[in-house]
Structure 1
Amino acid sequence: MKKYKLVTFDIFDTLLHRRIRAPVDIFEAVRLAVMQNKIALLNHNTLMSFTHDRMRAESEARQHLEKIIEAEGEVSFSEIYDRYEDMTGCEPELRNLLESKELELEKAFLFASDTGLKVFDEMKGMAEQVAFISDMYLPSDWLSTILEEKGFRGASKLPIFVSAEYRKSKWRGTLYQEVAQALGVTPSAAWLHVGDNIHSDISQASNQSISTRFADWAKVDNRRIPTTATHTEYLVRSILDFIDLPQARHFLPSDGYSSIGYRLFGPLIFGFMMWVMARTKEAKLNKLVFIARDGQLPHQLFETLKTQYGLSQVSTSYVYFSRSVGLQFGLKEWDVDQLLTVLGSGRIHRSIESCLAMLGYDANLMPPLLERFGFKIGDIVSKNRRSVAHLLFTTIFDHTLRTNRSQREKFKRYFDTHFSPDEKIGLVDIGWNGNIQRYLISTLDSRYSKDQFLGLYLGLHSPAHYNRERGFNMEGWVSNYGQVLHVQEYLNSGGVELLEFALTADHGTVIGFKDDDLGNISPVLEEPFPEEISYREKAMKVQMGIRQFVKDHKYLLDYYSPGILSCTAWSAPFERLVTSPTPDEIHLLAGLSHSDIAGNTASRLVLAARQDNRTRKSKRLMAIAREQAFWKACFDRLNYS
């Protein structure tokens, strides 16, 4: 014998959820999608106010129903658009497009509640009858189909009662009476209703002696947030805000690092990939070359996304390159700025042999030269010895340039497999100052020109002007030459190091190339240090979360162009991480180590650390410690909170 004669389910926010902050935000999604259609050219002003007008049309249609025909005011989808058409004077073609797009996007944003699905399956075995009740304007046949498609097996064959079709509602309690009459059930404890609205699903059902179960597994606030943000930014923020709601929990990975990858890095990288695709099409690039190591994940993601946007003709490759390789291959003239890069300006001063190794020299083979300038193996190039080291490097510059030329000629075939002088090529990397692009292009022979390359970077700092002024074409997404000051500031206060962690490849830094007896050329990779092994393992977990976020959101490409989706609002969760980390985030990330100087992974420091009591009692020592910390906000939380 079944426990219940009838179990009824509310639909929205009980069985089905939307992947946006509030249901009303679907109207902004519709507006943005339709704005891409040619019809928008003749209806721009009408569409600009669509979100407001669509909400108003629904409200006025209800009022009209209540006053004119004295019904409860539950209106249908078509009646809402009748009122919208009267209000705006839009042509039938535009109305039809808006209606179809709203249904299309409702379907796209809807997903089955994991808890709701479990309860539905459980109740089917405990009830003689199962039905759906919804205060909704959408048609019942559409809702039945959606429920079936989203995983509620048998839903399309079950009774469904929609307020707009019966002119009665759960809100006023009258729809329950309609259900009782239609299904031949008397309201009693043998009828269980499951829903999320305290008034319409719980109070009104209880008032009629119906048993209830409160669907507390979702949080919904159906109010549009007042904002000065652009329309695209508003939709992106709605999608991001959804991730923090309880109904989003089954999308999130259980592992801590993977969860951070999904919630905080995933949106940033998704937005970056949208921008890369948009710029690839706009700039008519034939090929994208992703630069190791930070370009590995973007390369893999681009390959999974490009066909969906119609970029299958764009070829890609992954080139092994690094600052160290650039200084051994890409020097064609002696440049004091490049020299200062070798000497470094990190938090820890480098040894003379480390500086020489960046240019491919073995200091152990150069004792007479070292002695001539007062150095020996193991000596540190401190600030007061940097000018002497500068003289030493200037002495060997001619040999350095010859060595670079020899390396270029010896390993030319490797670069010829990745580049063609007849193609317009995009270089994709994490970015910052554009030096890698300069080194890489200088590594290529005279058949290539700077103009055929476009650097596409997640961010470019203001010092990148140096390379742009020398004719290198490059653009940044979240930061473009430091034009937005606060973005450059948070990137330089821990954002860079966190991003380089999240995007690190599953292989070591390339430090050179080698060829075998058969003429095959392969990269020489630096052996990982113990600290870096752990660092890399954690990064791979973060990347699992990033991949999952991209997979879960690539459906947006079916409705919006990458140009629309490339809004920098995707970076908001990452910015919050850098500037205001939570205790859990600090626990997982503060102890990560990062190379002190670009191109030298042997010298590593933690991103931020709690200082000992002696240091914390001294303002001077604390100021020094904070200056040396990569992640400033994390340092402050660890030491001042």
Structure 2
Amino acid sequence: MVNKKYSEKYNMQTFNAAWLQKIRDFIATADVISCDVFDTLIHRKTRKPTDIFELVSEQIIHENAFPRDEHLIVSFPTIRVYAEQKARDDAFVRYKHWEVSIKDIYDSFQEITNCSDEIRHYLLEKERYWELQLTYPNPIMLNILNEALNNGKKIILCSDMYSAANIIQNRIEHAGYPKNLPIIVSCENSCSKHDGKLFSILKKKFPYGTKIVHIGDNVHADVKMAQKNDIPSLHFSYKEDIDRIFLSHIASTEENLVNSLSHGIARYLLIQNEGRNVHDLWYLSGISVFGPLFVGYFLWLINNLKKNTFSKILFLARDGYFFHKMYQKWAKQLDLNTPSEYAYVSRGTLLYPSLSDMNWDRLWYQFGGKKNKSLKEICEKIGLPTSLYLKKTTECNIFDVNQEFESNSSLLHKFFVSLGPDILNESKKKRDIVSKYLRKFIPDHDSVALCDIGWAGNIQGSMSRILRTSGDTTKLEGFYFGTFPWSEMNASIYDTFHGYLVNGDNIQDYNDILLNGGVELLEFATMAPHGTTLGYRETETDINPILETSTDDQRMQKLSSAIQSGAWDFANAIMEILPVLGEEEFITRSWADSFIDFVSYPSIHEARTFGVVTHSDAPGATCNRTHLISTPRSSDEEDIEYAEKRSFWKYGFETLYKERCK
């Protein structure tokens, strides 16, 4: 129907409206509407129908129902597919047709495996359970059928399926369709739509001259064979169009159970949430890109927290906000009862007070970034008025404090190293109130887990150094989306770092993707609905964070919250399924596949939309923000190269300004 990727001019609302009108026009003069069932009237919350067999296997293994036959249960998905094909082959040899019932399939399965009747019945029961649980209606077809019935048209269902008519009827009624719709099913008629003979049976049910039309998703069975029997047909490519137009990243991920569920749930949310902003690219990326990633990280986090005993888990602002919400809702359901809190911290408030020795690498993180900065701007940020150090500036060959430098300038390095004692003195002055604030959350001589986005380990390292200056021996163990090799500069006997996507020197295969836009996109998507922490204010009874209020930052918060709305819907839907299967089987980085594809191969519309997102260029106030993709001043090669260098999201830049194909 449609042959293009998602664009701002073609969203889910117009997509549904176009399909609704197309079907109304098609059935306008019909007396009888024949409909396919699976992937036409109803869908499953998996990528493919056969993925249901994987769920059956996973659930029974998790239940430990047949420990002596675990090898058989593990092999069930493969054998189940083979058993169906063998049953069809046997039917053709005996009866010269390929149609079989579910009983025939399980007879074949039992013959192949020699399994007990108990296992056979249990497997069949679980297959039917998951088929029913994961079925949902197509809202377009539900609307069409109800309208048609109200207009006096007759409805009949035609399905090539091994399930009996009464089983299919139960499923479509469970999905919300009208009761007692007549069904012609292949396994009960020894013929199919695929061979065209089921349409002959259909035509005989109505008087000659009755105008019958058919709607279905299979090009051969529903379109070509219907037309061969002189029945006008409409190819209902709704599901495949959605995958191609709206879910291209998640639809292209590797074939495994995690990606099947992620794909199926994202499609389900897109199809079912007609009243939500599913036409919005932010929400769409939440359900199909960031939602799976967030769930994967959360399951990994829970799994790691269970391995040790912590007095508390501390979720750190701002990137830990969403995961604190997840923890509050699902931790107990996943058998974890460690107390949790949310602490307002930032690199800007912790890095400088943590300088107990003159470490240039740590100091650099206080003002480093892509944008050039003046010495005056940097000194004001860390609380050192340049007016007191004019002699030092000239000694370091800096003759204008307003002159802008690259953050790795040797002149800046020389200047700040010469101010070592003064810097450490200012650091000590700022440390006391920060230490008091941290003491509200972190008990002395204990073990505390931290949840944050990660990367260089600066926040955990800063917290640890601030605590140790007062003789504290609290052990901090951080669980992050990723840690880069240079997080080693924050290592100590009191600190342990773990990364989900990348992990220091151990796992680095996603480093390039994260360092060329992935980090900034993740930090944007995890942004809490409040400003960054600028400092702390002490009252007689408490110490409270001072939060920034920036118009641009608030605009980014609003966009981020739309992403998180989609991610939350995804998490809610997937968490209804995973506990039954055992979440420990889903600790994998496959949850990140859609995100990796999104960062690496964005569409033009995605690059344009997310490219204007702004990101703080350095720790502290976020009012000094730059776009993820810089716009070249001209089409000259030099200007393009300069803009690319200044862009955070290199892959997005290439999509917009360079010829690049997947």
Give the TM-score band, short-chain normalised: 0.7 to 0.9
Instruction: Provide TM-score, normalisation by structure 1.
Output: 0.85
Measured after TM superposition, the shift of residue 4 of structure 1 is 6.9
Matched residues, percent identical?
Answer: 25
One-letter code of the match for 2:257? Answer: L
For the residue of structure 2 that corresponds to 1:440, the secondary structure is helix
Choose the corresponding residue for 1:490, options 484, 509, 513: 513
Structure 1 counterpart of 2:5: none
Alignment of 1:147-546 (within 5 A): 147-152=172-177, 154-155=178-179, 157-175=180-198, 185-186=206-207, 188-205=209-226, 212-219=233-240, 234-242=256-264, 249-250=271-272, 253-285=278-310, 287-311=312-336, 313-342=337-366, 344-359=367-382, 361=383, 363=385, 367-374=387-394, 378=402, 380=404, 383-408=409-434, 412=436, 414-421=437-444, 424-444=447-467, 449-451=473-475, 453-468=476-491, 470-481=493-504, 483-516=506-539, 518-528=540-550, 530-546=551-567
Measured after TM superposition, the shift of residue 496 of structure 1 is 0.8
Q: Does 1:574 align with 2:598?
A: no
Distance in 2 between the 1:323 and 1:91 partners?
61
Does structure 1 retain, via aligned residues, the 8 Å contact 2:502–2:509?
A: no
Does structure 1 retain, via aligned residues, the 8 Å contact 2:263–2:288?
A: no
Structure 2 counterpart of 1:224: none
Does structure 2 retain, via aligned residues, the 8 Å contact 1:18–1:109?
A: yes
Q: Flag the 1:262–1:233 CA change in 2: closer, same or farther, 3 A.
A: same
Distance in 1 between the 2:143 and 2:505 partners?
50
Choose the corresponding residue for 1:630, options 622, 629, 648: 648
Measured after TM superposition, the shift of residue 298 of structure 1 is 1.9
Choose the corresponding residue for 1:60, options 86, 98, 119: 86
For the residue of structure 1 that corresponds to 2:39, the secondary structure is coil
One-letter code of the match for 2:92? Answer: E
Distance in 2 between the 1:318 and 1:130 partners?
56
Choose the corresponding residue for 2:49, options 13, 17, 23: 23
For the residue of structure 1 that corresponds to 2:480, the secondary structure is strand
Does structure 2 retain, via aligned residues, the 8 Å contact 1:217–1:247?
A: no
Measured after TM superposition, the shift of residue 211 of structure 1 is 5.9
Structure 2 counterpart of 1:228: none
Distance in 1 between the 2:201 and 2:291 partners?
47
For the residue of structure 2 that corresponds to 1:475, the secondary structure is strand
Alpha-carbon RMSD: 3.4
Distance in 2 between the 1:34 and 1:14 partners?
30
One-letter code of the match for 1:295? Answer: G
Does structure 2 retain, via aligned residues, the 8 Å contact 1:267–1:570?
A: yes
Q: Which runs of 5+ in 1 are unaligned?
A: 222-230
Structure 2 counterpart of 1:227: none
Q: Which runs of 5+ in 2 are unaligned?
A: 1-27, 243-252
For the residue of structure 2 that corresponds to 1:458, the secondary structure is strand
Distance in 1 between the 2:87 and 2:100 partners?
7
Measured after TM superposition, the shift of residue 314 of structure 1 is 3.4
Distance in 2 between the 1:585 and 1:548 partners?
21
Structure 1 counterpart of 2:250: none
One-letter code of the match for 2:99? Answer: E
Structure 2 counterpart of 1:42: 68
Distance in 1 between the 2:165 and 2:586 partners?
32
One-letter code of the match for 2:75? Answer: S
40-49 or 518-527: bigger deviation: 40-49
372-381 or 497-506: bigger deviation: 372-381
Distance in 1 between the 2:42 and 2:269 partners?
10
For the residue of structure 2 that corresponds to 1:146, the secondary structure is helix
One-letter code of the match for 2:173? Answer: E
565-574 or 555-564: bigger deviation: 555-564
For the residue of structure 2 that corresponds to 1:559, the secondary structure is helix
Q: Flag the 1:566–1:66 CA change in 2: closer, same or farther, 3 A.
A: same
Measured after TM superposition, the shift of residue 616 of structure 1 is 2.0
Structure 2 counterpart of 1:559: 580
Runs of 4+ in 1 over 6 A off after TM superposition: 2-5, 243-247
Distance in 2 between the 1:93 and 1:422 partners?
55
Q: Does 1:601 align with 2:658?
A: no
Distance in 2 between the 1:218 and 1:247 partners?
13
For the residue of structure 2 that corresponds to 1:478, the secondary structure is strand
Does structure 1 retain, via aligned residues, the 8 Å contact 2:372–2:404?
A: yes
Distance in 1 between the 2:636 and 2:116 partners?
70
For the residue of structure 2 that corresponds to 1:490, the secondary structure is helix
15-24 or 86-95: bigger deviation: 86-95
Q: Does 1:72 align with 2:97?
A: yes
Measured after TM superposition, the shift of residue 239 of structure 1 is 3.7
Alpha-carbon displacement from aligned partner over 1:462-521 (angstroms, at most 9, x marks no partner): 1123334554112111111154444101100111111111112221110111123x5232
